Amino acid sequence: LDQQLEEIKKETGLLTIDGKKYKIGLDDLQVMGQIGSGTCGTVYAMEHAATRSVIAVKKIPRIQNEEEKKRVLMDLQVVMKSHDCPYIVKCFGLLIAESDILICMEKMSTCLCKLLTRTGQPIPEDILGKITVAVVKALHYLKQNHGVIHRDVKPSNILLDADGNVKLCDFGISGRLVDSKARTRGKGCAAYMSPERIDPSNPTGTYDIRADVWSLGISLVELATGKFPYDECEGEFQVLTRILQDDPPKLPSNGQFSQEFCSFVEKCLIKDHDRRPKYAELLQHKFIQIYETKDVDVASWFNQLIEETSGDCGVNLFDV
């Protein structure tokens, strides 16, 4: 791990913004406020002095145990290698200081979890169509290009900006796939975990990318209805029990959602992971194909929502 960190150190102190390279030190970044926290560290909004660009900087303490070092390395490796994917948050560079590692990334406006919480409104199907296309393509890219499974797909790791861009983030607990299988059972948020990841009768403890497909399905039900499917459960154990024992959640069949959307979510939430589709099949689904080409103005919807929310209760979703 230390050797891998030494390799990454060679990239330190250099930012690439709009195609131009800038040498940076701590004095070149001014903290504007805290945005949130991820699996590895705390995220701040900072202004880069030379360009006046406001960027997101994940600040990670260097003094860590081996498990935390693995998380840092995975997060660094994924974001630094994924600059060619438009659906993964862009990394501008990093700075390794005496006590912290700073990962400098593009700043998005909010995550879907905070959007749902602050507005109290479900997200319309056409917006979710564009979000779904972006997330499936990001996950497929990670698998095809880097042999990585995300393992923590949930609304708080799906970001949105004022231009309507949708991007996946937080790769600290992503895992390398060996022969397309992952082996570590307990990584990620339990509430979004697939049955095969928590089933004690699974003898090998292995799972594959279809575990992330389940997590996407749960996220879509939550975002479309405005309510987490296991919301009434008391504690994590009850959630896990329900995931294993109950029929999978589904969208209400009251005509509110299209047949294509209901079908897509139903396929994502097939309990038998051997029957659950992988990304290549999902990308051929009619719901994805519709929203790959359909013109949906995500930016206007988002900015109108910001305006309405700010006016109603004085809350601005930007910089949350």
Residues 128, 264 contacting (CB under 8 angstroms): no
Residue 18 catalytic? no
Residues 73, 1 contacting (CB under 8 angstroms): yes
Among the listed residues 152, 161, 170, 208, the single catalytic one is: 152
Q: What torsion do the CA atoms of 278, 284, 288, 289 make, to the nearest 10 degrees?
A: 170
Q: What is the 3-state secondary structure (H, E, C) of the chain?
A: CHHHHHHHHCCECEEEECCEEEECCHHHEEEEEEEEECCCCEEEEEEECCCCEEEEEEEEECCCCHHHHHHHHHHHHHHHHCCCCCCECCEEEEEECCCEEEEEECCCCEEHHHHHHHHCCCCCHHHHHHHHHHHHHHHHHHHHHHCEECCCCCHHHEEECCCCCEEECCCCCCEECECCEECCCCCCCHHHCCHHHHCCCCCCCCECCHHHHHHHHHHHHHHHHCCCCCCCCCCHHHHHHHHHHCCCCCCCCCCCCCHHHHHHHHHHCCCCCCCCCCHHHHCCCHHHHHHHHCCCCHHHHHHHHHHHHHHHHCCCCCCC
Q: Do the bridges between strand 148-149 and strand 91-96 make them parallel or antiparallel, or are there none, so unpaired?
A: unpaired
Tokens of 207: 């799972």
* CA pair distance 302, 296, nearest whole angstrom: 11
Q: Any idea which residues carry the catalytic annotation? A: 152
